[in-house]
Amino acid sequence: MADTTPSPEPGTGKGYGIQVAYRTLSVRADEKQTTSKSSLDPADAISSIDVHMLSVDEVYARYSSHPTVGLELAAVRRRERDGKNVISPPPTVYWKKGLNYIFGGFNFLMWIAFILTILSYKPLGPPLPFVLGVAVLLILVIIISATFYALVDWNASRIMKSIKSLIAHEAAVIRDGNSQIIQAADIVVGDIAVLNAGDRVPADMRVVQASSDLRFDRSLLTGESEMVPGSLDATSDNALETRNLALTSTFVVQGTCHGVVFATGDRTVMGRLVKMSGETKFKLTTIQKEVWFFTKIISCLALFFFCLSILLYGVWLRTTYPGYDTPSTAIVNSIGCLTAFVPQGLPICVALSLTVVARRMAKRQVLVKNLATIETLGCMSVLCSDKTGTLTAGKMMVENIAFLDDVFAVEEINERVAKASDPAVFAAFKALHQIARLCNGAKFDATTNHLPVQDRTIKGDPTDTALLRFSEALSIPELGVDASTLQQSSEKKFEIPFNSRNKWMLSVVSETSIVEEKSVQSTWMLVKGAPDILFPSCSSVVQSDGTVVALTSRARQAFATLQEDWSSRGQRVLVLCRKPIQEFKTGLAPNDLEDLMYSEMCDLTLVGLVGICDPPRPDVLPSIAVIRRAGVRVFMVTGDFKLTAIAIARQVVGIITQHAVDTIQDVRAAASEKVAPKEYYLIKPSDDDPIRSLVLTGEDVASLTAPDWNVIVGTYTEIVFARTTPDQKMRIVEEIKARGDNTVAVTGDGVNDAPALKAADIGVAMGSGSDVAKEAAALILLKNDFASIPVAIEMGRLVFDNLKKVTLYLMPAGSYSEFMAVLANVLMGMQLPMNSYQQVCYCITNDVIMSISLMYEQPEWDLMQRKPRNARTDRLTDWRLFFHVYLFYGLMLWPCAMGMWFLYMRQQGLGFYDVMLTFSNWGDGWKGFTIDQLTEFVYVGESIYYVTVAIGQYGTLLSVRNRRVSILQSNPLWGPRRNLLVLVGMTGTVLICIVNLYGAGFQRVFYMRPIPGMFWGLPFAFALGILLVDETRKTIVRKYPKSFIAWLAW
């Protein structure tokens, strides 16, 4: 690594104590400075930052730190009193949330109804107890709904916070001369933080050491997605623009650096910006948007019919049939239009669904940053998965070592050396050990150094971690192979960290050795990386006895064959090379040094090959099988060698199932023959197409044209993309998204996966992955549990499915049967068969209590065998749903309820035409009845209509529980789809009816009346009839899936 201050390995003790002379003074100065700035306005505080203008030595002096020792523990304890390194969340404006609860959803219609009812009570009409009772009921509805929304929102937020608390943000720091991994919240001012590619910057820090390729992602801070180079010197007076500051919540996407922390928590730039930005903005989820759109349509219809009803009264009924209705009665009756169209249970069920989802995700320790992610997962049609750390466990182990003339399994190295007559025949292990240990970006956590090598904590990527464990454990005294001795005699001068573009890592080290009692220093350029990238740069090769010979074409072919053999067994293959450097110029700038090293990348000596295995996650194979049955195509997108990727995809995880695998040549041949459809959304494989497999390399991806992509996305079910760069991964995602109405999910864990995770519709990161990947993802699997992905897909589909069922259940009774009662009163001149109280009460009690049970329905047996939902065309409410509401379920329910009204009137001696078109004739003496008798007939008839609608909905509830399956195979009482809440809801709705009909207060205020026994029994027969008709429909759909009835099915 290129540093302004070349430093020895932490812990060696070199240079300890240099800063002691000014430590006490600087602590006092720092305390004074902190106190003076704490009262500044956030914007002024940011503009007053000056640490970037100081020299590196001045930075160490100001914060009492040291490049190799860091902070002493006493200083850490003293500075911990300043508080945790945690940014306080933006304040919540509770009065705005309260207003949203009170007036949101359908509540604003309830407010309109309430105000109009109060006006009908006084001054528009006589102060009747009934009108006042309806007003009280409406305000209770508003209060209960608002309270419910608040409770559900609070509960969902509480669950989400508990999940987020499971994420352990860690940081590597140097304290007391040791490298330690601590909680990011425990960082204090003056700490020296060590950052590698993929790390989140845990606090504001001044860069004091940096590799030449250091790059930051500041998109969270600036909104710009371009990588920002890091530097040691100030590039701007502005703290937000200069490149020698690493700011909280930005990321290291390339290179490595050390930084001195100068601000933590709310005193960081991000903390001050959060304070300036105010409250968090509320965002609707996808389903909430759909329901809000539906709410607006329904509300407009309700207001339209309410205004039409009032207009008909004012223009027609009041003049043509004087005395038929008073202004007060007309308003109260017309309120039924407002309440009838309102499926009050829908917003409640949406809110409830979010809580159910949050709770189930919490159980699986899955962090969902936005609950909309779950809904989007239900639409997933393509899953692009990284290999290492995602499909595989990311716990790499060195398995094989190969020199030009010998191959070793790791476990047999010591045994073979011990048995050799002369250990010097294996002298090449000394050079291989040097490269594996020193050309390595991983580091042990000093606090775990007392543990066995296999149990120590390591910070670094999986490949470096495997090599570090191997090199630390490898000890061959006969050859002088020992890790601790090697470290003490070596000093790192320069480093180019591994990145996914170069696919190699380079380190320059100076090594001191004793030759004939004299200290001799040599400088080596050590390189490790992908064989196909580094082979062309090699001109010589080391044999197992340490002798160096020319790298002939025959030797190259032998290594290439060995690489193919190991790769076909699923191993990652690395080549280790080195080159002596006569003179290393330390005074050059980092970028000039990097250019110099690039020019030296020739005539390397190939030391050996290393084969690294990475076991698959045990849950991947069955999970991918479930995902594919759900109609989701699974592609592998990896930076690994092509043969390694295919071996893993075929033998281990089941992504490739076909024997024949097509290549770029097959794609080009098909592209030249195939005529692409005019619309991109039509480019997708047909159900009748055979399963075809394809493998493409990054080089292939770079050369693909639009017709090639049409063939790839529209033809292949199984694809492996190998040797891809981050930019190519992102392009793959974007090309797939652009075709076939695909909803693309990406899984990954590394820095190189971050661009693709951001570009995807749903990014899924592993909990053990890099900070960059976790920030870019929308969903984090905290337990690295790949099996959570099919569960999340199922949950997304289930939420949508259940909300559709809720909508289908609520509409026939609410916006149809109730509205028909108002319509008959206004246009047909008959008495209102269901009064305003009954309509409001039914909407907010009977309907809600039964609809909630639908949100707890288990998945139908075929839910994960259906095609993915098309997010563009498959809406929550479509014409098929409205067809079933108004021309199927509703068309059976309201005639039954109206028929019961006329049947009761017939029993009292009033025929159809004695009730219909009576308008103002309905009065004292009509058909020989007094007005009191007629009024009593109406009260009982209204109660009959109410009970018929409530019990008749049993049939609708049991029908919509299943889209295609018969209730005989999927009943609510037992079996896999047992849902006793259905029984609870049905019992509850009958109890509500009984309380309403037989409660003395309800009879006195709301004119509820007991009804004859037969009118309790007949509605159950109607419910059974609705269920049987729907069972017949489902039978036709199952038996004739191509029929007209099946085409109409919701």
Residue 29 has pLDDT above 90, yes or no: no
Task: In whole angstroms, give the CA distance from residue 812 to residue 883.
Answer: 11
Mean pLDDT of 653-671: 91
Exposure letters 320-349 (e unless 16+ CB within 10 A, then b): eeeebbeebbbbbbbbbbbbbbbbbbbbbb
Residue that has been written with the tokens 């379920």 in this structure: 889
| Range of lowest pLDDT (355-364, 703-712, 978-987) | 355-364
884 touches 810 (CB < 8 A): no
Report which of residues 278 and 861 the model is more confident about: 861
- Of the pLDDT bands very low, low, confident and very high (cuts 50, 70, 90), residue 948 is very high
pLDDT score, position 223: 63
H helix runs in 999-1013, sequence order = 1000-1006
pLDDT score, position 518: 61
Mean pLDDT of 505-533: 84
Mean pLDDT of 461-471: 92
The closest alpha carbon to 654, from 624, 627, 618, 675, belongs to 624
| Range of lowest pLDDT (39-53, 78-92, 600-614) | 39-53
pLDDT score, position 19: 38
The closest alpha carbon to 21, from 60, 76, 68, 49, belongs to 60
Task: Give per-residue pLDDT as tens, 166-185.
Answer: 566 889 999 988 888 899 99
| Range of lowest pLDDT (505-514, 564-573, 722-731) | 505-514
The closest alpha carbon to 798, from 630, 624, 921, belongs to 630
pLDDT score, position 238: 86
Mean pLDDT of 877-884: 88
Task: Give per-residue pLDDT as tens, 676-692.
Answer: 666 788 888 888 889 99
- Of the pLDDT bands very low, low, confident and very high (cuts 50, 70, 90), residue 991 is very high
Which whole-number Å values give the CA distances from 734 to 729, 755, 779, in the listed order?
9, 11, 19
pLDDT score, position 26: 38
Helix axes 931-960, 847-854, angle to 10 degrees: 0
Cβ atoms within 10 Å of 962's Cβ, excluding its own: 20
H helix runs in 122-225, sequence order = 129-164, 219-222
Residue 39 has pLDDT above 60, yes or no: no
Report which of residues 953 and 812 the model is more confident about: 953
Torsion on CA atoms 333, 334, 340, 346, rounded to nearest 10: -120
383 touches 627 (CB < 8 A): yes
Task: In whole angstroms, give the CA distance from residue 385 to residue 488.
Answer: 42
- Of the pLDDT bands very low, low, confident and very high (cuts 50, 70, 90), residue 28 is very low
**All residues at 6 or more sequence positions from 980 whose CB lies less than 8 Å from its CB, including other chains:** 972, 973
Percent of all residues in the chain with a pLDDT value above 90, rounded to a whole number: 42
pLDDT score, position 678: 66
Task: Give per-residue pLDDT as tens, 200-230.
Answer: 899 999 999 988 888 898 877 766 667 888 9
Percent of all residues in the chain with a pLDDT value above 70, rounded to a whole number: 92
β-bridge pairing 572-581 and 382-385 = unpaired
Task: In whole angstroms, give the CA distance from residue 862 to residue 884.
Answer: 21
Average pLDDT value over all residues in the chain: 86
| Range of lowest pLDDT (86-90, 222-226, 405-409, 418-422) | 222-226
Mapped onto helix, strand or coil, the DSSP state of residue 601 is coil
pLDDT score, position 282: 52
pLDDT score, position 12: 39
Q: Which two tokens stand for residue 988?
A: 């509850």
Residue 45 has pLDDT above 50, yes or no: yes
- Of the pLDDT bands very low, low, confident and very high (cuts 50, 70, 90), residue 198 is confident
Phi and psi based region of residue 365 (left: phi greater than 0; alpha: psi -120 to 50; beta: remaining): left
Residue that has been written with the tokens 């959304």 in this structure: 681
| Range of lowest pLDDT (190-204, 514-528, 740-754) | 514-528
447 touches 186 (CB < 8 A): no
Residue 17 has pLDDT above 50, yes or no: no
Torsion on CA atoms 745, 749, 754, 759, rounded to nearest 10: 0
Mean pLDDT of 554-578: 94
961 touches 986 (CB < 8 A): no
pLDDT score, position 542: 96
Report which of residues 40 and 121 the model is more confident about: 121
Burial class of residue 1042, CB neighbours in 10 A (0-12, 13-18, 19+): exposed
Mapped onto helix, strand or coil, the DSSP state of residue 1050 is coil
821 touches 121 (CB < 8 A): no
Burial class of residue 105, CB neighbours in 10 A (0-12, 13-18, 19+): buried
- Residues labelled catalytic: 386
pLDDT score, position 903: 96
